[in-house]
Amino acid sequence: MEAAWAVIKSPKMCRQWQKSVMRASNYVEMVSREGSSSASKRLLNRLDEAVNLGREDLIDSAISWYHYHQQLYLIKRVVRA
């Protein structure tokens, strides 16, 4: 989130942002194919879109959605157990 905000504030950091996205994407690919993997991919895509559009509100929205999704996922796991 902080990296995305920095890119919006400073266009010179765009290359650093792309490297960060690449590293995060590689990590997500290594994660198992559970619900958290697809949620992580969606978060990266939404953050990348927010940075490309230069919109901080979309960054906040993406992070909020991700936290909500993760909490919901954990609650469903507890209920199934």
Helices (H) and strands (E) in the chain, counts: 4, 0
| pLDDT tens column, 29-66 | 766 555 567 777 888 888 888 888 888 888 888 888 88
* Average pLDDT of span 11-31: 75
Question: Rounded to the nearest 5 degrees, what angle is found at the Cα of 56, between the Cα atoms of 53 and 59?
Answer: 90
Give CA–CA dist 67/78, Å, rounded. Answer: 17
* Average pLDDT of span 13-21: 77
- Kindly indicate the confidence band of residue 1, based on its pLDDT and cuts at 50, 70 and 90: low
In this predicted structure, what is the pLDDT of residue 32?
55
- Alpha-carbon dihedral 57, 62, 64, 68, rounded to 10 degrees: 160
- DSSP 3-state assignment of 10? coil
pTM of the complete model: 0.56
Stretch (H or E) spanning 27 = helix 14-30
- Mean pLDDT over the full length of the chain: 77
